[in-house]
Copies of this chain bind each other. A is one copy, B any other.
Amino acid sequence: MMRDDDREGPARARDIRTRGFTDRVSVEQATRWIDAHARLLPDEDLDSVGAVGRILAEAIAVARDIPPCDRATQDGYALRAGETAGAGDYSPLIFTLENTSGVLPIGAAALIASGAALPTGADAIMPFEAAQSDGTVLQVFGAIAQGSGVEARGQQAGAGSVLIEPGRSLRVQDLGLLSVLGLDRVRVVQRPRVRLIVAGPKPSPAGAAHDADGPMLRDLVRRDGGIVSPTAPRASTRAAMVAAMAGEPLDAILVAGRTGTGPDDEAPLALAEAGELAIHGIAVRPGGSAGMGLVGDVPVILLPGDPLACLCAYELFAGRLIRRLAGRNPDLPHSVREVEVGRKIVSAVGSVDLCQIRFVQDRVEPVGSAEFGSLPSAVRADGFILVPAPLEGYAPGARVAVRVYPETGAIPTRS
């Protein structure tokens, strides 16, 4: 599970407080570390009602044909298509009306509801619009083709065919199909249980320090399929952090705050004491003071306390860990839109910059900068872009892949 070559040596043991980061590992190295240390969680059995969004752990195959027999796909009259040949508006053909779901006599038609089994002998459904009944006989005003309005046995899915592959995030229609098949239970990947340790925020110049990281991280973990354990300890001393990390083992630990180079930034030291600090300092802005390591075999991600840096480091590192544990697509979950840059985007060479952007006349403009970003910039933004480490930004006209934040809704207007 753990490989020595995945441990980034230089940052591991050194106290960088009041010294500063000298070597930062690349985003790619940090990503590789996460991928190497995120075990996929075991399966569990679940009521299929309520399983929407869960990750399917086994293939769903159909035991028998769907539909199990030839059946009507519309309301109308079941009959033999060949017997309607020659029928027209001015030359209606007459059928006897039978009330049967067994064998249909020659020259007869039977009222049938959509979804019902075809009587033996019938091979088409005459729609109501093309016929007229007096309750005893049926006048038919047009010819129809064999198979019209009929769904053949097994047409939707043949017995034994796999309808849903494992690994899918279950969709509404998947659960509908499970209902149709009478499958009340379904095997899905367990949800990762995550301990969230709020080590910040530091006292702010304004006095009261409000924690923004805790609420944001709870929602993000939930979005990625995890469960935050209800007791989210606040721990701002090294001893308290060590104790919180060493609690009942869960599937992952996130620590928010105290990751920087200040004298009281003891989260990395606490992780080194409780387990091992594998990485501290990543070439990314914002969020470069993030770190990661292990307590036992439980991965721990250290997230910066500044809310925007915390958000960015969650998206790139912690979120990937949670999604991997949960069997989800580990990539960023945002929808991607390719858009042209409208106003120059500045980035630092040597770090991956996560730049908040907004759409202005369908082009992209920066909101704040990766260096001086702040939570309000992410609030004003429509999404973000990742500028790779070798680039110093994008000139107007360049095309970039925007990760789009969830829709901004409509402006309510009251009638």
Instruction: List the B residue with the shortest CB-CB distance to A128.
Output: B20
User: Given A202-B113, A205-B67, A376-B163, are A172 and B219 also a contact pair (CB < 8 Å)?
Assistant: yes
* A interface secondary structure, majority: loop
User: Given A71-B205, A260-B114, are A57 and B169 also a contact pair (CB < 8 Å)?
Assistant: no
Q: How far is the CB of A117 from chain B (nearest CB, A)?
A: 4
Asked whether any CB of chain B lies closer than 8 Å to the CB of A21, the reply is yes
Q: Is the CB of B113 within 8 A of A262?
A: yes
Copies in the complex: 2
Q: Is the CB of A333 within 8 A of B407?
A: yes
Give the interface residue-count category, chain A: 35 or more
Q: Is the CB of A372 within 8 A of B113?
A: no
**Looking at the complex, which one of B18, B75, B327 makes contact with A261 (CB distance below 8 Å)?**
B75
**Looking at the complex, which one of B69, B75, B166, B173 makes contact with A205 (CB distance below 8 Å)?**
B69
Binding stretch for chain B, among A208-216, A245-253, A343-351, A392-400:
A208-216
Asked whether any CB of chain B lies closer than 8 Å to the CB of A254, the reply is no
Task: Give the interface centre of A111, A129, A173, A205 by most chain B CB atoms within 10 Å.
Answer: A173
Asked whether any CB of chain B lies closer than 8 Å to the CB of A156, the reply is yes
User: Given A22-B129, A168-B408, are A175 and B219 also a contact pair (CB < 8 Å)?
Assistant: yes
Q: Is the CB of B20 within 8 A of A415?
A: no
Asked whether any CB of chain B lies closer than 8 Å to the CB of A313, the reply is no
A127 to B116, CA, bound (A): 77
In the complex, chain A residues 175-207 whose Cβ is within 8 Å of any chain B Cβ: 175-177, 179-182, 189, 201-202, 204-206
Binding stretch for chain B, among A83-91, A268-276, A358-366, A377-385:
A377-385
Q: Is the CB of A412 within 8 A of B57?
A: yes
A56 to B409, CA, bound (A): 9
User: Given A172-B311, A262-B114, are A410 and B375 also a contact pair (CB < 8 Å)?
Assistant: no
List the B side residues contacting A55 at CB < 8 Å. Answer: 409, 412
List the B side residues contacting A335 at CB < 8 Å. Answer: 335
Q: Is the CB of A260 within 8 A of B75?
A: yes
A22 to B130, CA, bound (A): 11
Asked whether any CB of chain B lies closer than 8 Å to the CB of A239, the reply is no
A247 to B171, CA, bound (A): 31
Per-residue interface assignment for chain A, residues 367 to 391, with 1 indicating a CB less than 8 Å from any chain B CB and 0 otherwise:
0000010111111100000000000
Q: How far is the CB of A82 from chain B (nearest CB, A)?
A: 21
A176 to B39, CA, bound (A): 30
Q: Is the CB of B173 within 8 A of A216?
A: yes
Q: List 17 A-B contacts (CB under 8 A).
A: A22-B129, A52-B219, A55-B412, A67-B206, A75-B262, A113-B264, A114-B202, A115-B204, A116-B205, A157-B376, A166-B411, A172-B223, A173-B405, A175-B219, A182-B210, A328-B409, A335-B335
Given contacts A115-B205, A173-B379, 7 further A-B contacts (CB under 8 A): A18-B128, A48-B215, A67-B206, A71-B205, A163-B380, A169-B409, A330-B410
